[in-house]
Amino acid sequence: MDAASSPSQAGVAVTDDWSSAFHAHNAQQCKQQLRRRAVLALALISEPLERQWNEIFLDLAWAAWLDVVRSARRAYQLPKAQRMYEKVLHEAHGAMGVSCFSVWRSGYAIPSNFSDSSLTLLLQRALPFVQESAERVAPFLEDHSSAMFSRVLRSSLSSSRLSYRSFASKPKCVMLNAARLDFDGRMDWKKVTDVTEFTSYDISATEEIVPRAQNMDIVMNKEFPIPGDIIRALPPSVKLIAEAGTGYNNIDLDACREKGIAICNVPEYTTEAMGDYAITLVMALSCSLAPQMKALAKGDRRYMQQCHLGHLDHFEIRGKTYGIIGGLGYIASNISKKALNLGMKVIVSDMPSTPLGMRDSGVEVVSFDDLLKQSDFISPMVPLNKHTKGLLNADCFDKMKPTAYVINTARGPIVDQEAIIDALRKKKIAGAALDVFGEGSAPPPPLPEDSPLYDVFDEFENVILTPHIGWQRVEARQRVVDGCGDNIAKFVRGEAMNIDMTTGLPIR
């Protein structure tokens, strides 16, 4: 009996051991499942949260679901699950107006600068927005240093976004040189002040940028050069440089990439103003308006007395050819439209890879050389970079008609100054209208005091000089202020900016 009972007792012991192990395993699985559900709960209640949290929460939801599928040994369902989740994710991001960044693209890269304590603090900062779900989140928080938490949250933070941003209240924004836009006090800054705590300086020296950016989230700027050493010295709080204009060659992109600072610009604010000004200059040159006014200004009344312009140019622009270098951009396309409406023929050159021929818009894409040879008026409308500096050089002027006029309202160094002075002196071209001159900006430098071009009354009476006023019409300036406000509002909501920081090119 004793012998008979021994196996039974042993069996009970074995059963009890197995049962205990099973229940312990089950309890552990339940605890893990509870933790996963807590993550999902935290993710799925993101709808009422501030929008800058949504990207991270949606990433958390995917990572949690991925972990559930794997732990349940249902890996065969993973492709289907991913497709389903991708669909939901894209719809959610689309509804919220934010870019789609997800952890499956990040390769679970873990940056070393995010410690467990930092991650805990980050999550705690989110909790005021999710107080009603504290009970569901609590079990997860108790084990905040779990491998899953670190992996998921770190991978979310290190996804393809350049910088993580969260603002408990309005972000702080500093404008470095407001007088560049608001020199007459007529600008309304409401769109900026509505979304930021706004501090504005009329003018800033380079050495004042870093001190004035302390504790700021956003630096706003109009054409002011911000070199790499300044950007690298900016405080960690700075997440965005908002360029109040089209060109952003004044900002060191490499340094911004290193610091994780995004850049945005306002590419279309001056489209109308620049289009109007380019056509204004075409008309002024076509009727020798500048030489007539200069003659009167120096007391020469011969044109008034003889009632004709003598040797001065005076012709209709209908049928004339307007050549626009880089003529498929925003501003150039608007100039083309205005010129076509006036009966001009418009030819443009673009990248070498751009197919030649007529476009539906009515412009014809031609080679750069053909544009130089055929045009009566030539405008470079390209950004200033290492490829376009000195684009219009002595060789180019040799190819132009002697009756051609050059109009530069883009960036001064695109036209070789010495070459255009030589071309004007040797009558290789008929004249020029120059709104921009040397390198630099905010404001761009004027012509050097010793420049021969200042002799507009005698040697260069066929030259119009203006101080970079093409963009300065009051409507354009207000448009760029409002555009900056719109960009900053998008940034605060977590939306992608319009400059691709990987390539440095605008996103269109």
Q: What tens digit of pLDDT does each residue of 266-279 get?
A: 988 989 999 999 99
> pLDDT confidence of 358, banded at 50, 70, 90?
very high
Q: Share the mean pLDDT of the chain.
A: 76
Q: What mean pLDDT is predicted for residues 273-290?
A: 94
Identify the residue with better confidence: 76 or 202: 202
Cis ω on the peptide bond leading into residue 448 (within 30° of 0)?
Answer: no
Over residues 338-347, mean pLDDT = 97
- What's residue 357's pLDDT? 92
Tokens at residue 313, please?
């140019």
- Strands 463-465 vs 364-365: parallel, antiparallel or unpaired: unpaired
Neighbouring C-beta atoms of residue 185, cutoff 10 Å: 6
Compute the Cα dihedral for 416, 422, 425, 429 and give only its sign.
Answer: negative
Q: What is the pLDDT of residue 492?
A: 87
Angle at 359 between CA 354 and CA 363, to 5 degrees: 95
Element (DSSP H or E) covering residue 31: helix 2-44
Mean of pLDDT values over 172-186: 95
- Least-confidence region, from 25-39, 128-142, 195-209, 416-430: 128-142
Domains annotated on the chain, with CATH: 27-157 (no CATH), 172-269+476-506 (3.40.50.720), 271-470 (3.40.50.720)
Which pLDDT band, with edges at 50, 70 and 90, does 466 fall under? very high
Sequential DSSP letters for 378-440: EEE----STTTTT-B-HHHHHHS-TT-EEEE-S-GGGB-HHHHHHHHHTTSSSEEEES--SS-
pLDDT at 388 over 70: yes
Please indicate whether residue 475 or residue 68 has the higher confidence score (pLDDT). Answer: 475
The pLDDT assigned to 134 comes to 39
Task: Tell me, rounded to whole angstroms, the distance of Cα 366 from its chain centroid.
Answer: 29
Confidence of residue 330 (pLDDT cuts 50, 70, 90): confident
Residue that wins the pLDDT comparison between 11 and 321: 321
- The pLDDT assigned to 133 comes to 39
Say what the pLDDT of residue 345 is: 97
Report residue 310's pLDDT band, with 50, 70 and 90 as the boundaries.
confident
Tens of pLDDT, residue by residue over 408-464, are 999 899 999 999 999 999 999 999 999 998 776 556 678 888 899 999 888 999 999
Q: Which residue has the tokens 């800033």?
A: 204
Integer Cα distance of 100 and 58 in angstroms: 10
Contact predicate 365/324, CB 8 Å = no
Dihedral class, residue 470 (left if φ above 0, else alpha if ψ from -120 to 50, else beta) = alpha
**CA dihedral (118, 121, 125, 127) positive or negative:** positive
pLDDT of residue 321: 98
pLDDT beyond 90 at 501: no
Average pLDDT over residues 230-252: 92
- 167 pLDDT band, cuts 50/70/90, is low
Sheet with 405-408: strands ordered across? 357-358, 364-365, 345-349, 321-325, 377-380, 405-408, 431-434, 463-465
More confident residue, 383 or 125: 383
pLDDT-wise least confident of 81-90, 372-381, 441-450:
81-90
CA dihedral 287, 293, 298, 304 (to 10 degrees): 70
pLDDT number for residue 485: 96
pLDDT given for residue 52 in this prediction: 37
